[in-house]
Amino acid sequence: MSVPEPGQMAPDVVLPDETGKVHRLADQHGRWTVLYFYPKDDTPGCNTEACQFRDLDGDYAATDADVWGVSKDSAASHRRLREKFELPFTLLSDPNREVIDRYGAWAEKTAVGRTYMGIVRSTFLIDPDGRIARTWPKVKADGHPAEVLQALGEERAARAS
């Protein structure tokens, strides 16, 4: 599937977190949402990204933004990751790739000379009206949460003017 573009309505998200609570993007009306896709719990790049989002949690909260991480991992895996790194934000489980596919985050990847299908690390900033404000279709984990926070500030300022 193609990657949603800025200005388009964000594809629907209806997924459970590690406790089984279902989170719906439609319920986020009036709030900013950072929706980030990552390959696998408790791997170096994913841990870096998650911990940097954690460290900026107060800054995200101050802008009325929620951070949601999405992977194919199970609820139990998400629970272990949240506990290990004291993650304050939501991790959603998408084992059937329903949302991952809608956001174009499932694609061909190459590593160590091997080609395979997997989750491409990507992020979407969704505005309070449910539209895609910004996209990052392929990102490096280190420093990315700060980049998204800066973009969030720019988008909020643009809406206020």
Say whether 51 is catalytic.
no
- Hey, CA dihedral for 78, 10, 108, 95, is it positive or negative? positive
- The H or E element containing residue 45 is helix 44-55
Mean pLDDT of the chain: 95
- Hey, CA dihedral for 75, 43, 49, 58, is it positive or negative? positive
- State pLDDT tens for residues 34-76: 999 999 999 999 999 999 999 999 999 999 999 999 999 999 9
Select which of 10, 46, 126, 139 is catalytic.
Answer: 46
| Amino acid identity at 44 | P
Q: Rounded to 5 degrees, what are φ and ψ at 69?
A: -100, 140
Assigned architecture for domain 14-160: 3-Layer(aba) Sandwich (3.40)
Domain ranges in the chain are 14-160
State yes or no: pLDDT of 1 exceeds 70: no
- State pLDDT tens for residues 98-133: 999 999 999 999 888 899 999 999 999 999 999 999
